[in-house]
Homo-oligomer: A and B are copies of this chain.
Amino acid sequence: MSSSDVLIHLHQKAINLLREDANKIEKLIEVQMENLTTRKCPLYEEVLDTQIYGFSREIDFAVRAGLVSEAAGKEMISKLERNLAQLYEALGN
């Protein structure tokens, strides 16, 4: 593989890993939301905040390591936040 092939491979791998993680967080939150009794619980808010924080640390690292562009990183966090907000809306009504 040429050096640019290696970089393209690494960038793609990084994006795939981050997407997987975002999906895992959405699934985790969805399962928690389905349990209505926990939805208004402060502990649940904390789980949500911690997950988003952990994901933002991963993104930040990937951007600094040059694996993901800053714009792509921001977009992935915004997308996760939007999806979680939609999930909350959908289950809250």
Contact surface of A with B, Cβ cutoff 8 Å: 1-3, 5-7, 10, 13-14, 17-18, 21, 50, 53-55, 57-58, 60-62, 64-67
Contact = CB atoms under 8 A, between A and B. Distances in A.
Given A14-B65, A54-B57, A65-B67, 5 more contacts: A2-B3, A3-B3, A6-B7, A17-B65, A65-B65
9 contacts: A1-B3, A3-B3, A3-B6, A10-B66, A14-B65, A50-B50, A57-B58, A65-B65, A65-B67
Q: Dominant SS at the A interface?
A: helix
Contact of A61 (B1, B2, B58): B58
Contacts of A67: 65
Shortest 9 CB-CB contacts between residues of A and residues of B: A54-B57, A58-B61, A3-B6, A3-B3, A57-B57, A57-B58, A17-B64, A6-B6, A14-B65
